[in-house]
Amino acid sequence: MREEDSNWFAKWEDELPSPDELIPLSQSLISTDLALAFDIRNPHQIAAATVPPPSQLPQSTANSSAEFDSADLGGGGEGGSGGGSGAGDEPARTLKRPRLVWTPQLHKRFVDAVAHLGIKNAVPKTIMQLMSVDGLTRENVASHLQKYRLYLKRMQGISSNGGGVGGNNSPAALAAVGVDPAMDHLFASSPVPAHFLHPSRANSDHFLPFLPVAAMQNHHQMAVAGQGAHHHQLQQQFRHFGTSPPNGQFEHPFMRQSQQQVQRMGTPVLGRNGSSVVPLPYVEDLESATATNGRKVLTLFPTGDD
DNA sequence: ACAGTAATAT
DNA sequence: TATATTACTG
């Protein structure tokens, strides 16, 4: 019936921002709530567009211009005791940043960072710096690291018990020995460097098969999942921010660093132990999220390549 | 101020 | 379920 149904894609595509205009979803530069406060409510020129998932989403039927409620990110409750409306003050306080989705790509980068640092120096802050994924917080990394370490411990136990493991851990092999099935799928998606399993020798840096910085032309984006409504409407949404935050620190998405490290890729960053930390170059693009649950997934698309 | 851990919350 | 948050210790 509606022609719109047939050319919604064209329209949508037309309005896509160019890569240069793309601004990372996350707001690592500003204190989280501050950041959210600003750009989230910037209905000025950019409203998020609802994007019916290309191939999936059996949902069907008319999802007219419904768009998601304004809630999305700010989902929580503002509330407001009276104030709120003012705009400007500090609604930020209660805003939550969306949950990070650890895609295999993102996890790989995490593993690479840990491998590069060596177990000894692989602490959340440093890992975060090395990864240089915008919007990634220390707590994101800390939480992930905690789980990952548990995973490694299980792996160690198995390897000492079950037999030879030496950098050869296929998911199947792990499943065979009975590695616990929780998030191991994610963790098994990237090979565990051998020295992770050997407590004996710590080390400093290792050679890694990274490509030259020249090869990193890709955006990296984070995938986040909204935790607001728990409808089982599987929806993918496209969101970007049209203007720079008050701090005006945003540059190209892939160039973005944290505020404290105002320099370009490849320039060393001072670590806390005095060692310099140079962000890892990007080899493969970080992929957009796979919406597994019935959750909404906000995602930024990497390129207009295709 | 940060790191680590376990427990708990969403 | 996966991730976030909290409470606590070092």
Q: What single letter denotes the amino acid at residue A163? A: G
Percent of chain A with pLDDT over 70: 26
Q: How far apart are CA A212 and CA A221, in angstroms?
A: 20
Q: Alpha carbon A198 to chain centroid distance? A: 29
Identify, with chain letter, the residue nearest to nucleotide B10 (CA–C1'). Answer: A227
As ranges, strand B nucleotides with an atom below 7 A of a protein CB are 2-7, 10
- Higher confidence at residue A34 or residue A16? A34
**Is the minimum distance from the CB of A146 to strand B below 7 Å?**
yes
Query: Tell me: the pLDDT tens digits for A153-177?
Result: 988 776 665 554 445 556 566 555 6
> What values do phi and psi take at A237, rounded to 5?
-125, 150
Whether the pLDDT of residue A81 is over 50: the answer is: no
Contact A269, A276 (CB under 8 A): yes
Contact A169, A188 (CB under 8 A): yes
The pTM assigned to this predicted structure is 0.53
Mapped onto helix, strand or coil, the DSSP state of residue A44 is: coil
pLDDT of residue A84: 38
pLDDT of residue A189: 93
Burial class (CB in 10 A: 0-12, 13-18, 19+), A2: exposed
Q: How far apart are CA A263 and CA A1, in angstroms?
A: 53
> Which of A274, A276, A275 has the alpha carbon at shortest distance from A263?
A276
Question: Using CA atoms in the order A143, A148, A149, A152, what is the torsion angle rounded to 10 degrees?
Answer: 170
Q: How far apart are CA A174 and CA A274, in angstroms?
A: 38
pLDDT range class, residue A183, cuts 50, 70, 90: confident
CB within 7 A of strand C (chain A, 172-191): 182-183, 185-186
* Closest nucleotide over all strands to A32 (CA to C1'): C4
